[in-house]
C-alpha cells in the first residue's frame, strides 16, 4: 500500500511538476545510477584483490621467483604481481643486470633506497586506482539530501501558490500537494543512504587490501636487498631490516 502510494505520488509529481521539479528528479536518478554502478564496479574489484592477496603466501613458498609470479596470478591490475615485477626490475636496473654499461644518475643511489622508491610507487599507484570513484560516492552522499530538499521546497512553494489562488480549501486538498512535494526529500535520502554505506564499506575493504600490499612490499624490499624475506621475532613483531643484519 505504501509503495503504491509512493509510486503514484512520484508519478503525480512528475506529471504535475514544472521543469525544475523534473530536473531535480532526473538529477537524483542520475546520482542513484552513478552510485550503484560505482559500488558494483568497486565491489567486484575488491573481491578480485582479496583473492589475489591470498596468493602471497604461495609466492613465498615457491622455489624461485618465476614460480612465485605464477602463484600470484596473471590477472590484469593485480597489485601484488605488479609490485613484485617492479621491485625485480628496480633491482636489476640498479645492479646493471639489464646490460647497461654507461653510468647513470641513479648509480649514486643506495640499492635499498632505489628499490624502496620503486615499491612505494607501485603501492601509491594502486592506492590512487583503488580510490577512483569514491569521491563520486562521497559527493552523492553529501549532496543528494539537499537536492531532494530543494525539490521539496520548490514543490511546496508551488502547492501553496495554487492553494492561495483557490481560496478556502479543505485539509485534504492541502495535504495532498504538500505530501507529494515531500516525496522529493525521501528520494534524496534513498539516493544518499546507499552511497554512504557503499563508501564506508569500500574504504574499509581498500584499507585491508592496502595493508596486505604494504606488508608484501616490505617483504619484497627485504628479499631484493638481503636475499631473504623479513623474519618474524618470537613476540610476533616484524624486525626492521637493519636489526636483522645486526643480529646476523
Q: What is the pTM of this model?
A: 0.75
Contact present, 69 and 63 (Cβ < 8 Å): no
> What does the pLDDT look like over 63-119, one tens digit per residue?
888 888 888 888 878 899 999 998 888 888 766 644 444 555 555 567 788 888 889
pLDDT tens digit sequence for 126-166: 999 999 889 999 999 999 999 999 888 887 777 777 666 66
3-state secondary structure of 222: helix
Q: Could you please report the per-residue DSSP string of 151-195?
A: HHHHHHHHHHHHHHHH-S--HHHHHHHHHHHHHHHHHHHHHHHHH
Task: Output the nine-digit C-alpha cell for 40.
Answer: 558494483
Residue 168 in contact with residue 233, Cβ under 8 Å?
no
Distances (CA, A) of 66 to 7, 71, 209: 59, 9, 23
Cell of 68: 612465485
List, for residues 7-24, the tens digit of each pLDDT value: 555 665 555 657 777 888
Amino acid at each position: 500500500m505504501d509503495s503504491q502510494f509512493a509510486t503514484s505520488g512520484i508519478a503525480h509529481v512528475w506529471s504535475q511538476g514544472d521543469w525544475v521539479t523534473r530536473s531535480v528528479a532526473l538529477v537524483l536518478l542520475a546520482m542513484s545510477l552513478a552510485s550503484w554502478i560505482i559500488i558494483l564496479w568497486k565491489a567486484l574489484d575488491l573481491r578480485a584483490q582479496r583473492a589475489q592477496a591470498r596468493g602471497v603466501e604461495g609466492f613465498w613458498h615457491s622455489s624461485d621467483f618465476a614460480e612465485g609470479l605464477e602463484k600470484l596470478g596473471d590477472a590484469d591490475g593485480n597489485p601484488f604481481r605488479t609490485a613484485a615485477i617492479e621491485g625485480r626490475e628496480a633491482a636489476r636496473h640498479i645492479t646493471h643486470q639489464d646490460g647497461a654499461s654507461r653510468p647513470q644518475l641513479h648509480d649514486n643511489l643506495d640499492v635499498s633506497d632505489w628499490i624502496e622508491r620503486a615499491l612505494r610507487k607501485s603501492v601509491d599507484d594502486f592506492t590512487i586506482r583503488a580510490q577512483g570513484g569514491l569521491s563520486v560516492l562521497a559527493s552523492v552522499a553529501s549532496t543528494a539530501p539537499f537536492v531532494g530538499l530543494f525539490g521539496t521546497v520548490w514543490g511546496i512553494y508551488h502547492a501553496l501558490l495554487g492553494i492561495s489562488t483557490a481560496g478556502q480549501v479543505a485539509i485534504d486538498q492541502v495535504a495532498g500537494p504538500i505530501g507529494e512535494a515531500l516525496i522529493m526529500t525521501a528520494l534524496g535520502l534513498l539516493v544518499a543512504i546507499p552511497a554512504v554505506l557503499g563508501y564506508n564499506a569500500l574504504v574499509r575493504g581498500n584499507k585491508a587490501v592496502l595493508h596486505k600490499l604494504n606488508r608484501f612490499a616490505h617483504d619484497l624490499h627485504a628479499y631484493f636487498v638481503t636475499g631473504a624475506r623479513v623474519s618474524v621475532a618470537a613476540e610476533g613483531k616484524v624486525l626492521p631490516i637493519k636489526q636483522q643484519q645486526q643480529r646476523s
